[in-house]
Amino acid sequence: MNIIHKRSWELPESAATPEDVFWNRRRFLAGMAGGSLALGAGMFTRPAFAEDDPSAKLYPVPRNEAYTLGRDVTPESVTSVYNNFYEFGSHKQIARAAQALPIRPWSVVLDGMIDNPQTIGIDDLLAKMPLEERLYRHRCVEAWSMAVPWSGFQLSELVKLAGPKSGAKYLRFETFKNPDVASGQKQSWYPWPYVEGLTMEEATNELTFMVTGVYGKPLAKQFGAPLRLALPWKYGFKSIKSIVRISFTDKRPVSFWEEIQASEYGFWANVNPKVPHPRWSQASERLLGTDERRDTLLYNGYEEQVAYLYKDMKNEKLFM
């Protein structure tokens, strides 16, 4: 995402290599030598990052056929090497750097206005939730898009587990903060950790999906392992990665991008072809892989499932 005060902050890898990153890289390179990965001109040709994830035995999970794409699934070889994850860099080639993120142990804090506050380990959470696969489109605010088979569970199931009190109106999500492994978080002009928010009604909509896997495997780190959101009717920045905390609150959260540039990245961020970004059109999108251009659809084509959420809202910038 372009922000106005863009700075080139990435240190050369050799200048910022804490020991654990180094050892992770060593393991990663050893894996490549074993033939599961190959490097060509700095690009991965065959991604296979999730293989020693302890949740691997859970996948693949049954597909819920209710969600169709109207286009081909974007190949893993494309989506796993073109990622937005500012914690690891402001460009799209963060897949390798993201392998430094430790994803076990990993726990998620549920707190705020709920009956059952708790800290739950990711594997305990996976055991409790009904896992399924859904084909979803994903539309980045930068106008590229992809279509992927996410695995995970409906967020409404986790909301049930938390037991919200009647005053809870919003959910606030937070990503990990660990600048030792995520060099982007050393850049103090960003408001780390990454934060996102939803209304309770949005959070319990059927489409709102907590992602734990993709392509029939545990979620690879560059996609936001071990737990991320997928909100297919909103611009991609709302789909927060590597979640460590979900707080139930009566105050509307201020999200990471909103805090940086509220005039360009608002709270609602629903997809709409007729509402341009202040610096570019949103009328069409570019499909990753083929570079085909397609017309953008209102709510990214999910109008039927979500339009009711926004019907009576006045004076809200629903599409930015």
Ligand X SMILES: Nc1nc2c(c(=O)[nH]1)N[C@H]1C(S)=C(S)[C@@H](COP(=O)(O)O)O[C@H]1N2
Beta pairing partners, 77: none
Instruction: Note whether 12 and 179 are within 8 A (CB).
Output: no
Q: Which is nearer to ligand X, 242 or 270 (CB)?
A: 242
Beta strand 107-112 with 118-121 is antiparallel
Whose structure tokens read 């961020």?
269
Residues of span 224-243 touching Mo ion by CB under 5 A:
236-237
Stretch touching ligand X by CB under 6 A, among 39-47, 68-76, 78-86, 267-275: 78-86
Site string for ligand X, 123-162 (x = CB under 6 A): -----------------x----------------------
State the Cα angle at 118 between 114 and 119, rounded to 5°. 140
Site string for Mo ion, 82-111 (x = CB under 5 A): --x---------------------------
State the Cα angle at 100 between 97 and 103, rounded to 5°. 130
Instruction: Note whether 301 and 310 are within 8 A (CB).
Output: no
> In whole angstroms, what is the distance from residue 227 CA to residue 210 CA?
7
Instruction: Note whether 154 and 63 are within 8 A (CB).
Output: no
Residue 241 annotated as part of some ligand binding site: yes
Residue 87 annotated as part of some ligand binding site: yes
* Two structure tokens written together for 215: 């392509």
Stretch touching Mo ion by CB under 5 A, among 58-66, 140-148, 263-271, 288-296: 140-148
Site string for ligand X, 220-259 (x = CB under 6 A): ---xx-----------xx-xxxx-----------------
Residues that bind Mo ion (CB under 5 A): 84, 140, 236-237
Please report, in range form, the residues annotated as the binding site for Mo-molybdopterin: 83, 86-87, 140, 175, 228, 239-241
